[in-house]
Structure 1
Amino acid sequence: MASGSAPAVLHLVLGEDEFLTERATTGVVSAVRAATPAGQDPPVVSRLGGPEVTAPQLFELLSPSLFGEARIVVVTGAAELGKDAQAAVLDAARDLPPETVLVVQHTGGGRAKTLVADLRKAGAEEHAAGKITRHMDVVGFVRSEFRGLDVRVAPEACEALVEAVGTDLRQLASACGQLVADTGGKVDVEAVRRYHSGFVGVSGFTVAERAVTGDVAGAIEALEWALHTGVPEVVLADALADAVNSIALVGTQRGVPPAELAKQGLPPWKVKKVTAQTRYWSIETLGTALQVVARLNGEVKGRAENPYYALERAVREVGSLASL
């Protein structure tokens, strides 16, 4: 929210992630309601939007109220608004009626793409809701969730939770809150294992660590058990890619201080372990392994008819390369 005692009256929630979009919108609504003076009714929330919304509908909601009641108008699917509807939103944004807060949800693309820049010029407070896909960023999301709950959690435990739950942000946020409630804020790797044992008994990192150290048989055994216990295929592929990429990062920058590697995405606590793993690799075999995990990323996301066989083949290939 904007600094100061009163919440902003114009908000742009920008991004394609539905969970983050709704969370940001809920945050605005809560802040506005919390700022309602004592004795006054809280603002009424109205939602509408999308390609079928007309300018008259928007004009009716965004015009001054005859009774002066406080309102929060949430325009959903603003990326697909028609030309007249866009104009109605923008006209209102530039001169909002008293006691009216406008929240516009926009993916950043679509036929109303230019509305984003126009709302920024109108002074909208922006809330990021872009999709988070990189493993490192998903783990960062988990860490920020715990910080928001006033709990400090080690990076290893955040990694373990992503392994256990997957990359769905809604599920991860719920898992963070539940872990904090169940453990009294004492969240560590063991707590994650205890509360998510169905997934973490064998994790994607177990599979990846065995593969990148040349233990092909052990990696395949761990892969089969991880799939049996429900670890998602995409998570397993991400873990293998993370292991190979981490080795490439450290192996090509020998002697670089851990703090410098951290700036490039590798946490200091991981550097020692990855450094030990680099002895199994050469520049040539690493290059091939990077191609393997890049191919696997597409295969587990729909390019392969059978993601399981794609995973098994990639694990065997990486393990064999580490054994050379």
Structure 2
Amino acid sequence: MASAPPKSSRTSVNTVTWRDVKPAAVILVGGPEEYLGIRAIDHIRAQVRAGDPDVELSRLNAAAYEPGFLRMVVSPSLFGERKLIEVEGVESMNDAFLTDALTYLKQPEDDAVLVLRHGGGVRGKKLLDAIKAAGWPVVDCQPLKKDADKAAFVTAEFKAGGRRIESSAVQALVNATGANLSELAAACNQLIADATSTVDAELVDRYYGGRIEATAFKVADAAMAGNGPVALSTLRHALATGADPVPLVAALAAKLRTIAKVAGAQGSSHQVARDLGMQPWLVEQAQRDVRRWTPDGLIRSIQATAEADAQVKGLSRDPVYAVEHAVTVISMSVQPR
């Protein structure tokens, strides 16, 4: 049976993660991150089928909805099967769906689970507000923009898969495949399936070291270590094998931003990590690295990288030189150990 919203939350939003959501009479899966939306709905469907393998599944499109159809698919059948109704495109719903959905919310069926997928925007706000006010579960599927959020996602994937992964490997995997969440998840699944022991950075590099993002961070790591020759040789190899200068500059900028943020922060590594939304081990690494930077050197490197960013995006006819210049400036700005 679908659960009712908790009485204590009938006047507040009952927000849950896609991993924790449980079947209920009405569930809103909202937000623009399509991959998380898919995972949330898959998770709900799997739980419903685990409790009732004979559940009757219906899929509706809210934009092409016909009046009265929702009531028809949720109505009890002669054989008493549980009903699971998945509605996509709620952000593009027509007026007929809005009317029928609002009516249905007043008295949902006990043996039905209605899952509404809303990709974002203001269309259907009246319906969304009604669901939230009633205390039905809401899964918020927002893009994972911060490295800390992506790292947390990787850690949770490995925990769910019963496999251990070192913190350095988590960041290496985010660097290599984190631009797209579905690719990041696929990489996690592959390593979970293939690895026979704890996943470390070396294994991640063996699998994904050839990715442009991974190569970019190798260049950035060498430059930030003050190793100009290695940084330039890695950069030239990357460019010769087809790497785009844009992600190469982005990697330099990401490293410098981390140093700049940590340089201006006060408190322990855990306090700084919490305030900046970063992993504690990454903050600790940056706190060690920042000792090798003078304020002038950091400013000079940031300016060179900003200029390179503009040049590789169209302001220069020679983007390769722009990247090489930024790498050289950064390498020379780092103080010897």
- Report the TM-score when normalising by structure 1: 0.81
**Deviation readout 1:117-164 (Å, 9 max, x if unpaired):** 221123321223211123332222212211221223122101111233
**Deviation readout 1:240-292 (Å, 9 max, x if unpaired):** 233112211222237x3222222223434334542343245343554565566
Task: For 2:257, give the aligned amino acid.
Answer: N
Aligned to 1:24: 40
Aligned to 2:200: 188
- Paired residue for 1:100, among 112, 133, 144? 112
Aligned-residue CA RMSD (Å): 3.6
Decide whether aligned partners of structure 1 residues 298 and 29 sit closer, same or farther in structure 2, where only a CA change above 3 A counts. Answer: farther
The 2-side partners of 1:308 and 1:162 are apart by 32
Aligned to 1:15: 31
The 2-side partners of 1:297 and 1:25 are apart by 39
- Paired residue for 1:262, among 248, 253, 273? 273
Q: Name the SS of the counterpart of 2:165 in structure 1.
A: coil
Aligned to 1:86: 98
- Mean CA deviation greater in 263-272 or 289-298: 289-298
Quick check: 1:148 aligned with 2:164? Answer: no
Count residues in correspondence: 315
Quick check: 1:76 aligned with 2:88? Answer: yes
Aligned to 1:313: 322
Q: Please list every run of 5 or more consecutive structure 2 residues that lacks an aligned counterpart in the other structure.
A: 7-19
The 2-side partners of 1:53 and 1:214 are apart by 61
Instruction: Percent identity, please.
Output: 30
**Deviation readout 1:193-244 (Å, 9 max, x if unpaired):** 2233433896332211233345555434323434556777675455323311
Decide whether aligned partners of structure 1 residues 258 and 281 sit closer, same or farther in structure 2, where only a CA change above 3 A counts. Answer: same
Quick check: 1:204 aligned with 2:216? Answer: yes
- Mean CA deviation greater in 280-289 or 70-79: 280-289
- Mean CA deviation greater in 211-220 or 153-162: 211-220
Task: For 1:33, give the aligned amino acid.
Answer: R
The 2-side partners of 1:130 and 1:247 are apart by 27
Q: Is the 8 A contact 2:220 2:231 kept in 1?
A: yes
Aligned to 2:128: 116
The 2-side partners of 1:310 and 1:115 are apart by 50
- Paired residue for 1:35, among 34, 48, 51? 51
- Mean CA deviation greater in 241-250 or 309-318: 309-318
Q: Is the 8 A contact 1:43 1:72 kept in 2?
A: yes
Q: Is the 8 A contact 1:164 1:196 kept in 2?
A: yes
Q: Is the 8 A contact 2:147 2:278 kept in 1?
A: no
Q: Please list every run of 5 or more consecutive structure 1 residues that lacks an aligned counterpart in the other structure.
A: none
Task: For 1:16, give the aligned amino acid.
Answer: P
The 2-side partners of 1:58 and 1:297 are apart by 52
The 2-side partners of 1:72 and 1:272 are apart by 48
Q: Which structure 2 residues correspond to residues 168-179 of structure 1 after superposition, within 5 A?
A: 168-179=180-191
- Paired residue for 1:252, among 252, 264, 271? 264
Aligned to 1:56: 68
Q: Is the 8 A contact 2:35 2:181 kept in 1?
A: yes
Q: Name the SS of the counterpart of 1:101 in structure 2.
A: strand
Aligned to 2:143: 131
The 2-side partners of 1:145 and 1:244 are apart by 29
Task: For 2:98, give the aligned amino acid.
Answer: Q
**Deviation readout 1:39-82 (Å, 9 max, x if unpaired):** xx521221122423233333432344455332111110101112
Decide whether aligned partners of structure 1 residues 299 and 120 sit closer, same or farther in structure 2, where only a CA change above 3 A counts. Answer: farther
Q: Name the SS of the counterpart of 1:249 in structure 2.
A: helix
Q: Name the SS of the counterpart of 2:210 in structure 1.
A: helix
Task: For 1:267, give the aligned amino acid.
Answer: Q
Task: For 1:70, give the aligned amino acid.
Answer: R
- Report the TM-score when normalising by structure 2: 0.78
Quick check: 1:281 aligned with 2:293? Answer: yes
